[in-house]
Every structure is written in C-alpha cells, then in structure tokens.
Amino acid sequence: MRRPLGVLAGLVSVAALSAPVATAHAESVSLAACRLTVNEPTLSTAGRIQASVVREDCTRPGLVRVRILRAVPGDDPVVRSAAARGRVNHLTISMACRPGTYYATATDYRGNSGKSKAVKLTCDPAATPSPSPTSSSTATATATATATATVSPSPSGTRTPSPKPTSSASPTPTRTATATPTRTVTPTPTRTATTKPTPTSTSTSGTVGSTEENEVVRLTNAERAKGGCQPLKHDPQLHKAAYDHSADMAAQGYFSHTSKDGRSFMDRIRGAGFTGGTGWAENIAMGQPSPASVVEAWMNSSGHKANIMNCKYTLIGVGAAKNSKGQIYWTQDFAAR
C-alpha cells in the first residue's frame, strides 16, 4: 500500500483473540449533515467478504458507489465495486474470499466520501479476522448510521474481530427523547443444546436486564467514573435493542453491526421504541465468558473504550445471549439525550 490506512468515517479498530474465540465491534453516530459511513470488510458465515456503506441524514438522492480494495505493495487494486442510484441509504456488496488485507471506500458523487480501516481476512468463517495485533483482549470498530435498502454488487476486478466502534459525535465500534419500557429479559436456562439463544441469567423483577447485563452496566460506569463521566442509566428501549441483536446473532451465527435483514444499529434502536437523542453508539463482542472479561476487552480497544468513556452519553442498553454452544454474544447500545 502506498500510504497507511487510517480512520475516516469515525474511529475504526480491529483486534483478534486466540482461544477461546472472542470478538467485538463498535459503532457510533451523531446528528449531522449528509455523510457516508463505511463499514470495514467482514467475513460472512457463508465465507464471503462483504462491505457496506450507509448514507445518513441525506435528503437528496445520489449515485452511491462502494468499492472493496485489496491492500498490496504499490497501487491497491479494486477487487469488487457496485453502485446504486436514488435515495438508497444502505449499500452492501460481497465477493468470494481470498485471504488477504482489505478495506472499503465509498462516494455518493455529491462531495461525500468515506473509507474504512484495513482488515486482514483469513477466509475461515470460524476464525476472527485480525488486523494488526493490539492486546491480548479483543476488539473491532466501525462506524455506521441509518439504513434502508441493500443492493447486491456486480464484480469488477480481479473479514471481523473483537469489541467494534466509530466516532459519533463519535465513540466500538465503533463510527438518542422519551421512551417507554418495552420489555425486561426473562431468561431461560443458561446452557442448552438447542439452537435458540438463551439469556445469560434471570432478571430481577422490576429491573431492566439480567444479572450479567446489569453487571456490565456497573463495570462500565466504574470505568466512566475514572474519567470523570456520569453513570449511565440502563434504558428499557436500548436494552431491548441490544438484547434482540445479541439473540439474533447467537441464533443465526453471525457477528456484525448490520443485521441479516440489513438493519443498522440505529434501525434497531428506533425499532425498539427509542425516540429523540443527539448521539448513539454500539459495541458488540462474542466469546467473552463473563461481564468482567467483556468490559476488559472493550476497554483494551481504543474505539470501544471511546464509546464507553464518551461523557455525553447518558443512557445504555446491554444485551447478552448464548448460542447453542454456550458462547455469549454481547451488545452495548449508548445514547445521549
């Protein structure tokens, strides 16, 4: 590559852990003018490389093009490119995987552009992609925003990690006004052989979230206190958005800020009934066995840590769900209002 890859559409970082597999991502977004947020390439459960771009707060239609590039010495070749015209807010492209280091760029030809961080992909869906190593804990970051339609790519030329962020008014991984409680998790057995995800433990009547989820909130607030930030309140709508995403990832066997149906983390937050707000972020992780280990992993990733230590956030939702193998998928959703 001719130049080092940096963070454009928010803070993006990636790290991988050895056994047990543990990964995480982070994302964030704030109210602003029309802009593009580019998610770094990831490896789908089908073994394909995919990347996506989101246009946020864009009222005018435009031609959006997203490209996947392979990082090599010299000029980096474009290995996949696709475009969509009109009021498309979310464009995702995919391609057959070949081991290597990849990143994505996007433009809407209206002066808005974005670029993700480079990620090293192994083409093994069971493995965690690793960019450059950071610490023994895990983390991955990206930025994102609201979305609507997904478009499939067309070929043109010859995945992701631990906790994930961006900068939102920024904060993992990764690149919100009144709410009414939606639901409190009432979990079932911790470990089962079925494919349905299970909550990590039973919640206490009258509280938001399970024991483990509230321990994540407590540990998160303990870290924030070290930086002079006020404690976050566990919000029912954000908890629903976070838990539903963890349960969906556990049930369908994927790891991404973008749901299988194309929804972004902002779509899920709004869908859970959360309204208003001036900034949001999301951290996700998979494989950490306890609240302490997942918070430690996020705090060891600059992007995820930025989300946790952003003093403007006032609310949080934490969701934890196990897959049939007993692995826990963790999600933190943050909001400012």
Predicted confidence (pLDDT) per residue in 262-275, tens digit: 999 999 999 999 99
pLDDT for 29 equals 55
pLDDT per position as a tens digit, 37-67: 888 898 887 889 988 888 776 666 778 888 9
Mean pLDDT, to the nearest integer, of 166-181?
Answer: 39
pLDDT for 83 equals 85
Mean pLDDT, to the nearest integer, of 117-135?
Answer: 60
Shortest CA distance to 337 belongs to which of 282, 281, 283, 275?
275
Residue 9: how many CA atoms within 13 Å on its side-chain side?
Answer: 32
Position 3 confidence tier, pLDDT thresholds 50, 70, 90: very low
Position 330 confidence tier, pLDDT thresholds 50, 70, 90: very high
For residues 59 and 236, which has the higher predicted lDDT (pLDDT)?
236
pLDDT at residue 132 is higher than 50: no
Mean pLDDT, to the nearest integer, of 130-149?
Answer: 35
pLDDT for 54 equals 81
The answer to whether the beta carbons of residues 45 and 286 sit under 8 Å apart is no
pLDDT for 122 equals 86
Share of the chain above pLDDT 90, in %: 47
